[in-house]
Amino acid sequence: MQDTNQSTASAAGTTTDLPPARRPQSLPFTRSERSTLGVEWELALIDRDSLDLRQCAEEILQKVGPDPHVHGEMMLNTIELVSGARRTVAECVEDIALAFDRVLPVTDPLRVDLASAGTHPFADPLVQKVTNAERYARLVDRTRLWGHQMLIFGTHVHVGVEDRAKVLPILKALLTRTAHLQCLSASSPFWAGADTGYADNRAMMFQQLPTAGAPEQFNTWEQLESYTGDLVHTGVIEDFTEIRWDVRPSPRLGTIEIRACDAATNLTELAGIAALTQCLVESFSRTLDRGEELDAMPDWYVAENKWRSARYGMDAILIVNSAGEEELVGDTVERMLTELAPVAEDLGCATELDSVRATLETGASYQRQIAAVGAYGGQREAAVRLLLAEARAGRPLRPTEVLSLAAKS
C-alpha cells in the first residue's frame, strides 16, 4: 500500500510532489497468558510403495473435513498438525497425537503414510506442487527457483508473553540458544538424494527466502513497526506474517514463535523441543521480572551459530554469550536441562524436558538417518523407513532397533 503526500517546498511557494511517505505498520500485541503454548508439526505425505512424496494434501484435507488441528501447507505433499493454545506441553502433544490418529483412516486407503524430517531423503524438489493459494503463488513468483525448492518441513512453537515490553528482550536472549534447538532437531542431512555434509540442510535452504533466516534485533517495538512499515511500503511483504524469521513475535496471537527447528521425526522429540522452548521463554521472563538484563549476542555471532549448527549439528562448538565464550552444544544442553528443571516443574513439563536426553543418548535425527543409510549400503530409502518407524513408535530409534524392525517386516 502506498499513500501520497504533497508539501510546499520552497520559499517561492511552489508545490512539489514528494515520494510516497513511509508509515510505520501498527502491530498491536494481543495480551496472552504467560507461558501458554501452541505447537505446529509439519508432516510429509509418503507413498507407501515408492517411499517418495505424494501430492495429495488437498484430497486428504477434503476427506478429513473441517478440523482446527489439521491444516494445509505451502506444498501439496504436506499437512500440518497443530495444537490448541494450552498450558502444558502434554496437552499440546495430546492434541497433535489425536489429530494424527484422525488422519490415518483417510491416508491408509490411499496407501499414504505420515512421517517427517527437515527434508525428504531423496525426493526431487523441482517436481513438487504448490498449494493453490494466492500468498504461496506470490512467494513462488517472486523467488522463482528458490521458492520452488522449499521442500522443507519444520516444527514451530508459540509461547505466550503477557507484556509486550518483554517480547524483544526475550527474542534476543533466545538467539543465544536458538542454535542449540536447531542442533537437537537437525533432521535434514540429505537433499534430493545427495548427502549434503550438513546436519540441517533445511536451515540453509529456507534462509534463501528474502524475509527468512535470523531475525533483525530491535530495541523498541516502534523500531519493529517502522521496519515492517518499510517492508510493506516497498512491496517486500503484504503483512507481518510474511516475515519468516527463525524467531519472531506473533502480535496477533500474543506470542513469541520459534521456527528454527527441523520437523521432529517423533512425538517424544517434538515434546522435548516444545518443553525446552517453553522453559527458556519462562526463564528469561523471570529474569526480566527481577529487574535484570538479558544477554544478547551481536548479529554476526547469531549468524555464525546458525551456520555451525546447520553444518556440524551435535558436534558444533557454539558461541554461548555476548562475551564470545564457546562450548560444545551437548555440554550446554546438559547444563540447560539442569538449570531449567525447576522451571519445568512449575510449568508441568518436567517429563517432557527430560525427554531431550533421548536425543542426547541416541543422537539427533540426522545422525540416525545417516547410520540407517550406512547400514543399508547407501540406500536413501533406509532413511525413509527409519522416519516411518519413528513416527509409528513415537520415539527416536537406535540403528540396531531399526535393523531389528526391518528384519521383522
What is the distance, to the nearest Å, from the Cα of residue 158 to the centroid of all Cα atoms in its chain? 10
Helix (H, G, I), strand (E, B) or coil at 171: helix
**C-beta of residue 340 within 8 angstroms of C-beta of residue 279:** yes
Beta strands in 34-82 (DSSP E): 37-47, 70-72, 78-82
Q: Span 36-407: which CATH code? A: 3.30.590.20
**Exposed / middle / buried, residue 152 (Cβ in 10 Å: 0-12, 13-18, 19+):** buried
Asked if 66 and 399 count as a contact pair (C-beta separation under 8 A), the reply is no
Going from the first residue of the chain to its last (409 residues), give the mean pLDDT of each consecutive group of 10, the final group possibly shorter: 33 39 84 96 97 96 96 91 98 98 97 97 86 64 63 96 98 98 98 96 89 94 96 91 96 97 98 98 98 98 98 98 98 98 98 97 97 93 96 89 63
89's enclosing H/E stretch is helix 89-107
Cα–Cα distance for residue pair 188/182, rounded to 1 Å: 11
Is residue 207 within 8 Å of 213, Cβ to Cβ? yes
First to last CA, the chain: 58
4: number of Cβ within 10 Å = 9
The phi, psi pair for 169, rounded to 5°, reads -60, -40
Name the phi and psi angles at 301, rounded to 5. Answer: -65, -45
H/E stretch holding 337:
helix 329-347
| Residue-level pLDDT at 206 | 87
Residue 1: predicted pLDDT: 34
Residues with Cβ within 8 Å of 358's Cβ and at least 6 positions away in sequence, in order, are 268, 269, 272, 395, 396
Q: Are 15 and 6 in contact (CB under 8 A)?
A: yes
Cα–Cα distance, 192 to 194 (Å, whole number):
6
Listed in sequence order, the residues at least 6 apart from 99 whose beta carbon sits closer than 8 Å to its beta carbon are: 67, 69, 70, 81, 82
Please state, in angstroms and rounded to a whole number, the distance separating the CA atoms of residues 288 and 294.
Answer: 7
Residue the block writes with cell 534462509? 207
Confidence (pLDDT) at 80: 97
Calpha distance 396→404 (Å, rounded): 14
- Cβ neighbours of residue 248 closer than 8 Å, sequence gap 6 or more: 171, 215, 256, 257, 259
What pLDDT sits at residue 125?
87
User: How far, CA to CA in Å, does 395 sit from each of 248, 270, 272, 351, 401?
Assistant: 29, 9, 11, 14, 12
Domain definitions of the chain by residue range: 36-407
Identify residue 32 by its one-letter amino acid code. Answer: S
CA–CA dist 298, 285 (Å, integer): 21
Question: For the stretch 277-303, what's the b/e string if a residue is b when 16 or more beta carbons lie within 10 angstroms of its beta carbon?
Answer: bbbbbbbbbebbeeeeebbbbeeebbe
Residue 144 pLDDT = 56
